[in-house]
A and B are shown apart, each in its own frame.
Chain A
């Protein structure tokens, strides 16, 4: 119960904080819209209505990853700048319970991006996104958010001792857009790429949302989101232990 409360309060606190940052919220909304606009023009030029719907759904989910990649990468660095990292690490609660809500909050900011991109596609480009399975969609979106948030948590842990983690987080933006099938079908990519895509939750989240939209079978994709999300959290918790132990041993937590 105490952990659930901490996760909830941590998520709310981080979400409110990020919502008030123009970089984490306003830019996270605008940035995917620029790319979505280019993609919409390109697919409209191609003259295939189905492709435009495909791009509309993909562009909507792109924003979730945009919001997560940079913010999660720089999550610990932000705590360093605020002077709160040492206090959080020294607190009796396991540090991963403090860190996980940050990843989830960054992904939740993606909801703004998703809504903004859908409205942009609808009112500027006339893209009507179908929702054939509303119930599945209602499950697919949170599953995607949670799994991407868990991936954000893993990234935050992986780059905890790296001063320029935001640059690495930012660098992952285009590759994930490309290899998780947001705008390009995986079948178009070289044969060695899809196995990498399969271990990335955004791939399954994207599939789940597309299947829910077109009346397919999204449940296996939703299950994969939860499974991969759990794996990321498990690895993140183990990673947190290792990172903190090393940081204490080398007195390098503050990276000064």
Chain B
């Protein structure tokens, strides 16, 4: 480690390594840009439950079984479909090896993270799969799997923040978003939620917005 906190000095790195790192950063940056205005948010309510708000320029999907619910957001419809396909693939494999009762949030999390991590590092693919998953399960865990395969796990009961965000990587968008989200309804009230959604849609110029109650 150098004084500046770099892994090694620039001059010590081989040309191919620089190129690989550059490619990776470029893919990440490009995916972040495409996911700039796509978000999913969990709004924590008392006692120990909540709901999701999802929005962006593409339709989002909800996947659920008896063990967990998952919101899939992505930069485009085809990428969201690929995300859904991943979930279905792991679901059907676990059903054939074990049983559908064993398709738990942690199983989905582990597989999705492994896939996305490998996908973004696959230099044969010019574009990363810009799709993200927000999972909530029967134990009250909130699991966020980002497009890079990074995992963040929180508990509904113990989460410090009332609002947990996934996506929305654009800096300007994020600032505006945090400003607006302060007025989010603190109860599941259809009228208030619709009103809030309309306002958010206009202010942030979103083409799609919706709520998911897990």
Partners in one complex: no
Give B residues with C-beta under 8 Å from A. none
